[in-house]
Amino acid sequence: MIGWEYPPHITGGLAVASRGLARALGALGHTVYFVVPRVTGDEPRDPNVTVIGVNSKEIPLSPEELQQFLLDTMHLYGTSVYARPESLSEARELATKVLRGLPMNAMQSMAELQGGYGDRLYSEIQAFAEFVSRIAAHLSFDLIHAHDWMTYPAGLYAAHVSGKPLFAHVHATEYDRSGDHPNQYVYDLERHTFLNCQGVITVSNYTRSILISRYGVPADRVHPVYNAAEFDLQYQGEVQRPLREKIVLFLGRITFQKGPDYFVRAARKVIEEYGNVRFVMVGAGDMYHRMIEMAADLGIGRYFHYTGFLKRPDIDRIFRMSDLYVLPSVSEPFGISVLEAMVAGVPVIVSRQSGVSEVIDHCIKVNFWDVDEMAHHILRVLQDDGLHRQLADGGRSEALGLSWEESAKNIGNIYGKIVNGKKRI
Q: Which domain holds residue 284?
A: 246-401
What's the pLDDT score for residue 422? 65
Residue 254 and residue 214 share a domain: no
**Would residue 415 count as lying in a domain?**
no
> Is the backbone peptide bond immediately before 8 cis, with ω within 30 degrees of 0?
yes
**Would residue 350 count as lying in a domain?**
yes
Residue 256 and residue 384 share a domain: yes
Residue 129 and residue 183 share a domain: yes
**Would residue 85 count as lying in a domain?**
no
Residue 312 and residue 267 share a domain: yes
In contact, 322 and 381? CB cutoff 8 Å: no
Please tell me whether residue 35 adopts helix, strand or coil conformation.
strand
**Would residue 215 count as lying in a domain?**
yes
**Would residue 214 count as lying in a domain?**
yes
- The CATH number linked to 24 is 3.40.50.2000
DSSP H helical segments within 259-364, as ranges? 260-271, 288-297, 312-321, 336-343
Q: Is pTM, for the whole model, over 0.85? A: yes
**Would residue 69 count as lying in a domain?**
no
Residue 335 and residue 212 share a domain: no
Closest CA to 107 of 116, 96, 117: 96
**Tens-digit pLDDT profile for the chain (425 aa)?**
999 999 988 887 899 999 999 999 999 999 999 999 999 889 999 999 999 999 888 888 888 888 888 888 877 765 444 445 555 565 556 566 566 767 777 777 777 788 888 888 999 999 999 999 999 999 999 999 999 999 999 999 999 999 999 999 999 999 999 998 999 999 999 999 999 999 999 999 999 999 999 999 999 999 999 999 876 544 556 788 888 999 999 999 999 999 999 999 999 999 999 999 999 999 999 999 999 999 999 999 999 999 999 988 899 899 999 999 999 999 999 999 999 999 999 999 999 999 999 999 999 999 999 999 999 999 999 999 999 999 999 999 999 999 999 999 999 999 998 777 666 78
> Residue 166 is inside which H or E element, if any?
strand 166-170
In contact, 193 and 155? CB cutoff 8 Å: yes
Residue 132 and residue 269 share a domain: no
Residue 313 and residue 281 share a domain: yes
Distance CA 40, CA 166 (A): 27
Residue 277 and residue 200 share a domain: no
In contact, 168 and 202? CB cutoff 8 Å: no
**Would residue 257 count as lying in a domain?**
yes
Q: Which residues of 19-36 are buried (b: 16+ CB within 10 A; e: fewer)?
A: bbbbbbbbebebbbbbbb
What's the pLDDT score for residue 383? 97
**Would residue 24 count as lying in a domain?**
yes
What's the pLDDT score for residue 177? 93
Residue 282 and residue 379 share a domain: yes
Closest CA to 295 of 238, 240, 250: 250
What's the pLDDT score for residue 67? 83
Closest CA to 35 of 180, 155, 124: 155
Residue 175 and residue 285 share a domain: no
Domain total of the chain: 2
Distance CA 96, CA 218 (A): 47
Q: How far is CA 25 from CA 2, 28, 285, 315, in A?
A: 14, 5, 32, 26
Residue 396 and residue 313 share a domain: yes
Q: Which amino acid is at 322?
A: S
What's the pLDDT score for residue 114? 83
Residue 274 and residue 210 share a domain: no
Q: At residue 378, what are phi and psi to the nearest 5 degrees?
A: -60, -45
